[in-house]
Amino acid sequence: MLSEKLVDTQKVLDYNKPFDPKVLQLYNHWLSSSVAFLIKSLEKLVKQYDFLNFKLSKIRTTDHKILKYIVREPAAQAWLNALNHYFLYGFLKDIDEKEIPLDLNFIDYIIEQINDQSLVTSFSCNIDLNLNKYWLRVFFGTSILFENDKITEDAKEIISQSFKIIEQYNPALLNEIYLLCPSIQFIQDPSAHPDKIVSFSDNLIPGCIYVSVRTSQGFLCPYDLADSIIHEHRHQKLYLFEYFHPVTDKNNLKVPSLWREELRPVSGLFHAVYVFQNLLDYWLYISQYTANAEIKNKASRNVQLSQERLTQAHQTLKNCKLTDYGNALLTEFQETLYRTLSIEGENIVL
């Protein structure tokens, strides 16, 4: 059980599924750091707003296992990161350069969560689908549109099918998605081609992934939506690792990437490799086990394209300055890719 594998004895979640011990350890450390940052941030605010002193005392005396569960929420993480930006710069703006006001009401939300007896007695692992939460959406201004309740309801079946596909491919991966990605937002990008499948993550909103569930042609194929979910989960997982173990140095060197037309920072290329290494394995699995000819062809194309791009990306990263941790991951990537490269025209898993 998860509670038996945590670094300390503070139970965060009661979810009776296996997890990677390394991921659990880092995740629990990250939650502990988030709780410490929450209290430190409130202490700073109290110096400016005396009326917050009572609320700070309430939060300080709350069991940390409850606070961990509260800060696990992506909206709480986004609010904490917004506070940090206020402390550093004195202001915060969205992508449209519109100023976002300081939000002290979120502290009341935290108090409400603390007082919620159901939260105290029952922790669970679940994923919120497209909930209209201010701190999950405010940063994006008018550049991103969020789907309405009707689309959300209609998309639930495709989401369910996508989760089943992921579970069939790799049950442990689905467990990790539930752990690290407790919120999924359904979006449209007005600047993108109407038939393009869009997804993204932001390390300022850890735990939330943003995916399109439809194009101008209708709702996505569940296999493509599963691809988007896995894709963004991998970004989230690497964000967690990078919080403790950076993979690149701090230089601003930019390098070519076959996934983008423009040059990318080394860290961006590393993220691409980390993501598509997993997606290569996913589409290879689909190509081998699906009976649907159209999906099989799609999977085979994705496998070939990923192999080609990963091979070149590995060569680029070999010539970049990585940390010891980054080099260790890159070596692991290269070995994994070697085992799935085409041999005599066939994909062989060694």
Supply the pLDDT for residue 341.
63
pLDDT per position as a tens digit, 43-92: 999 999 999 999 999 999 999 989 999 999 999 999 999 999 999 999 99
pLDDT for the residue numbered 3: 29
Which of 301, 27, 314, 42 has the alpha carbon at shortest distance from 178?
27
SS3 track for 300-315: HHHHHHHHHHHHHHHH
- The predicted pLDDT at position 11 comes to 35
| Burial class (CB within 10 angstroms; exposed 0-12, middle 13-18, buried 19+) of 89 | exposed
- Identify the pLDDT of residue 339: 72
Structure tokens at 332: 């692991």
Q: Which residues of the chain have pLDDT under 50?
A: 1-15, 342-350
Question: What would the pLDDT profile of 78-127 be if each residue is shown by its tens digit?
Answer: 999 999 999 999 999 999 999 999 999 999 999 999 998 666 555 566 89
pLDDT (0 to 100) of residue 1: 27
Distance CA(86)–CA(84), nearest Å, equals 5
Residue 19: predicted pLDDT: 73
* 8 Å CB contact between 236 and 209: yes
What are the structure tokens assigned to 86, written together?
Answer: 């206020």
| Angle in degrees, 0-180, between the axes of helices 21-48 and 171-180, rounded to the nearest 10 | 10
**Strand 254-255 and strand 346-347: pairing?**
unpaired
The pLDDT assigned to 335 comes to 84
Q: Where along the chain do its domains lie? A: 2-188
